[in-house]
Amino acid sequence: MVLDIILKGFIVTFSLIVAIGAQNAYILKLGLQKKHVLLAVSLCILFDFILITTGVMGLGFFIQGNQLLINSIAYIGIIFLTFYAFLSFKAAFKNTSLKIDTENDTTPVKQVVTLILVFTFLNPHTYLDTIVLIGGIGANIADDMKMYFLLGAVSASSVWFLSLGFGARFLIPLFKKPITWKLLDIFIGIIMLLIAYSLIDLIKEIP
């Protein structure tokens, strides 16, 4: 049971953060330049933990016993995830690749921290992914199991950002190839549909 909850937290989180975006692109760039990688990765993991915990604990407190709200969140999640899956499958048919600008070698710590804050907290999808979707799923897990869900979620965040930052030199040549993004987009699309399907269990008749 514990392993299932940890795995659920890991899969849900990993599937949502694995996508081409400003934050991931920036981490890749820093990794390629070998500049402030540990700082940037640590900040991303810390912010994910704070936001997901807010969703799992805070959101769970407000929606506990409110089946109408739970149903609403579930429906929104199903619609969003299905649409996200559609976009992923659509992207798989495009010849897209990630372009990293490595010409600018001047990367002060203040700039790194500022950009990570901007990419994290000024991105609406961050709140939708961490607090609403991941947090909403975690909030409906039994109280004594929530910490295991958070463990899985933070583990996924750690694995992803550490891989991006410290494995960038090896990943960049691979992810410049369109076929890599095609396979990744297809994988993300499938996972999104599976998560959307799992949300159906949250929908119950209102007394």
Q: Is residue 107 part of a domain?
A: no
Q: Is the pTM of this model over 0.85?
A: no
For residue 61, give both structure tokens: 């407190």
Which residues form the domain of 81? 2-98+114-202
Q: For 105, phi and psi rounded to 5 degrees?
A: -95, -5
Contact 63, 135 (CB under 8 A): no
In a domain, 103, yes or no: no
CB 164 within 8 A of CB 31: yes
What tens-digit pLDDT sequence spans the chain (207 residues)?
789 899 999 998 898 888 756 688 788 878 877 889 999 999 999 999 998 888 888 765 565 567 787 788 778 878 877 887 898 888 788 765 555 554 555 668 998 999 899 888 876 667 777 887 888 788 778 888 889 999 999 999 999 999 999 998 887 777 777 787 788 788 878 877 887 887 788 788 776
> How many domains does the chain divide into?
1
Tell me how far apart the alpha carbons of residues 67 and 205 are, in angstroms, rounded to a whole number: 8
How many helices, marked H, and strands, marked E, lie in the chain? 11, 0
- State the DSSP code for 140: T
Question: Would you say 171 and 186 are in contact if contact means Cβ atoms under 8 Å apart?
Answer: no
